[in-house]
Structure 1
Amino acid sequence: MRKYALWIAGIAIAVGEVAAQSPFTFYGKALKPGTKTHELVELSDGKNKATIPVTIFHGASEGPVLGITAGVHGYEYPPILAGQQLIHKIDPGQLSGTVILVQVANTGAFLGRTPFLNPADGKNLNRSFPGNAEGTITERIADFISREVISKCDYFLDMHGGDAPEDLTPYTAYYHSDDMPEASEKGRLMATNMGFDHVVVFNVTGKTAGLSTYCSAEAFKTGIPAMDIECGGLGRSEEQQVGQIVEGVQSLLKQLKMLEGQPLATPSIAVIKKRSYLSSDHKGIFYAAKTSGDYVVKGMYLGYITDFFGNRLQDIYADQSGVVLIILGTPPVNEGETVAVIGSIENNK
């Protein structure tokens, strides 16, 4: 702590104390307070390589550590472009605490324009946590994020959007477990203070003992309040979606008292605790009758599937009332593939 005093007529009058920030260590380097540092982390499994761009904003004063990942799925562009804007939006001189921002976790998928999977080894990074330091390149990326980012955090945010075929309505989501009430409540406050109209609850009560699998689940499993953003889809990178994410992250920093100011106010939030997944029984062509964000009632018609000669094979109907969170927005469909996700509205806050 640094003490400050006001001198009046030669008499020192104490006016308070300001927390002195210590250097922050990332990947073996000590970073000075009030600085922004770009790091290119190189990983290799002996066959494939990965380069991970990371920006660390080490604030001028003490505060929590917030970890943020973008590009875990490299075809989900709005979070990645939001990260590029946050490079210039977050001023470490005005920041209390530290932000570790993984700009593109899966550069192989991003540069290869590959939905869901890393083309180097065919693995889904968001199904690979906590990772393996001796595994394939995707498993090593997950291991790096688990060890060098998540383990250093007090709070964690994983930023996603609908992937290439997915028409998605924007929402935030947080992890909840009855066995972890403090981390759950902190996650709820994070998710409900980002200006999004829909908030999904990932209830993992009794499910935290096994492998985490998902990026943000790895954080929550270790007791860190964790949440996701889902914004964008269909391979688009529209300015409105990017801006919504940027504003949401800035609002989160205010909610966590890492920046001065009040978080975004959202008069009404639709809370979703139950989601249903509707899948295809066939491979062929899907014709959607609804779009993301539409409100539906149980039994409402959502679309149909044909074979490659136009023969109608299956009609898709809503199995519960709620909002269409995701629906296939492109024609191809495979047997067993999810064609729509409906979120049941529990209550409004």
Structure 2
Amino acid sequence: MIQTKLIAPLLVLLCFSTLLNAQNKPFQFQQKAVRPGTKMSFSIPVTDGHNSTFIPVTVFNGKAPGKALGIVAGIHGFEYPPIVAAQQLAQSLDPAQMNGTLILVHMANVPAFLQRSVALNQMDGKNLNRSFPGKASGTITERMAYTIANQIIARCDYVIDAHSGEANNDLKPYAGYYNHTATPELSKKSRGFATALGFNYVIQFDNLPGVTEPSKYCSREAVVRGIPAADIECGRYGIAEPEMVNKVVTAYHNALNYLKITNGTLGKVTPLYVRNRTFINSNYDGFFYSRLKAGEFVKKGATLGYITNFFGNKIMDVQSPVDGIIMYMISTPPVNKTDELFSIGHLN
């Protein structure tokens, strides 16, 4: 009888302790505490003393503990599907039903978005996705990169960098990840994460021992920090096609489900892994013409298009040096010398 009286309170205490341990903690962000089961939006200011901007971020702190995922949309302000998808995701999530934390960057590059600039921030003429890890005392774009790297990426267990084809690009949707032989476990985690996003194609970037230069790219900055990361490329022509926006929304949800931040199920997709790509560049300024589209398969030696001078005279046939699939391509006539015309994924 005495033993029973002692055991019952101990069981209650044990259950209460387990319940407490299962509760999440407030997430400290921008000197504020986001309570478990709530969300909070922030406008992170960035200035170099001459130019100023901000980065709109929403933090979802789940009721229960779990992984921290960072989703960065709008590194390039003209790439609309991931940006619109981020807006839709923000409205659909209930933090009271989530585990862990989501740091959602609605738009990393507000100046480029408002300027309708394809790749560059016109405040300083720099490409944000060539500026990582950034500089605390650099130009406005370098400071934006530094802010994202240190205030967002550094807080995450996994990171997504979401892009699309710009105004001059036709693009086949795919996910990507960095494959470095010096960090096989990190590459394996990134591969699994990229695969879980649900695209039919997954591209391996780098295929090198490691990174020996500045990271340059948003997702590679995460990998340099030891954080598994995946890229999304989904959308084309610089327009927010509903089909492409929906694909990105689905990919965002797949990521959340994969990390068990939300409790949905993952769709089953067996992607084609593209280990290597060949990039075909222009040798001339002029006009580019092609009847092909992203996603088409091409044979080695096939004519992919041609370039004319400004009088309409053909000056170059563009031929494929490999068998493969067109992952993306220029889809508008203007072309500069050294411009990338095609990215051809090798078929292994």
Same fold (TM over 0.5): yes
Deviations 1:84-124 (A, max 9, x none): 00111222111111011111110111000001110110000
> CA-to-partner distance for each residue in 1:219-271, whole Å, 9 max, x for gaps?
000110011000012111100000000011101111111111321211x3111
In structure 1, the partner of 2:277 is 275
Matching residue of 1:44? 47
1:212 equivalent in structure 2: 215
Instruction: List runs of 5+ in structure 2 lacking aligned partners.
Output: 1-7
Secondary structure at the residue paired with 2:304?
strand
Between Structure 1 and Structure 2, which shows a larger proportion of helix residues?
A: 2
Question: CA separation in 2, counterparts of 1:221 and 1:345?
Answer: 28
**2:36 maps to which residue?**
33
Decide whether the 8 Å contact of 1:289 with 1:301 is kept in 2. no
Q: Is residue 179–residue 206 contact of structure 2 (8 Å, CA) maintained in 1?
A: yes
- Are the aligned partners of 1:193 and 1:252 in contact in 2 as well (CA < 8 Å)? yes
Match of 1:260 in 2: 263
Q: TM-score under structure 1 normalisation?
A: 0.93
Give me the whole-angstrom Cα distance separating, in 2, the residues matched to 1:317 and 1:333: 16
Cα deviation, 1:272-320, whole Å, max 9, x if unaligned, reads 0101100111111100121001011111111110011110011111111
Deviates more, 1:24-33 or 1:75-84: 24-33
Contact (CA 8 Å) 1:43, 1:141: kept in 2 or not? yes
Q: What are the equivalent positions in structure 2 for 1:101-180 lying under 5 Å apart?
A: 101-180=104-183
C-alpha contact 1:62 1:97 (8 A) present in aligned 2: yes
Q: What corresponds to 1:343 in structure 2?
A: 345
> 1:321 corresponds to which residue?
323
- For the 8 Å contact 1:203–1:273, the answer to whether it is kept is no
Q: Normalised by the size of structure 2, how large is the TM-score?
A: 0.94
Amino acid at match of 1:77: Y
Structure 1 gaps, min length 5: 1-7
Would you say the 8 A contact 1:40–1:52 is kept in 2? yes
What is the CA deviation profile of residues 194-232 of structure 1, one whole-angstrom value per residue up to 9, with x for unaligned ones?
Answer: 221000011353332321111110000011001100001
The aligned residue for residue 4 of structure 1 is none
Alignment partner, residue 5 of structure 2 = none
1:231 matched to which residue of 2?
A: 234
- Paired residues for 1:281-300 under 5 Å: 281-300=283-302
The question of whether the paired residues in 1 share the 8 Å contact of 2:182 and 2:210 is answered with no
**Shift, 1:139, TM fit:** 0.3
1:192 corresponds to 2:188:
no
Residue of structure 1 equivalent to 2:249: 246
Cα distance change on mapping 1:61 and 1:123 into 2, 3 Å: same
Alpha-carbon distance in 2 for matches of 1:195, 1:215:
21
Moved more, 139-148 or 90-99: 90-99
CA contact (8 A) 2:45 2:55 kept: yes
Contact (CA 8 Å) 1:322, 1:344: kept in 2 or not? yes
Q: What secondary structure is seen at the aligned counterpart in 2 of 1:174? A: strand
Tell me if structure 2 keeps the 8 A contact 1:176–1:184.
yes
Distance 2:106 2:299 in 1: 39
**Structure 2 residue 72 is the aligned partner of structure 1 residue 72:** no
Secondary structure of 1:316's aligned partner? strand
Distance in 2 of aligned mates of 1:293 and 1:103: 28
Alpha-carbon distance in 1 for matches of 2:39, 2:242: 25
Equivalenced residues, count: 339
User: In structure 2, the residue corresponding to 1:247 is in which secondary structure?
Assistant: helix
Q: CA deviation at 1:345?
A: 2.5
Identify, as 1 or 2, the structure richer in strand.
1
Q: Secondary structure at the match of 1:146?
A: helix
Percent identity of paired positions between Structure 1 and Structure 2: 44
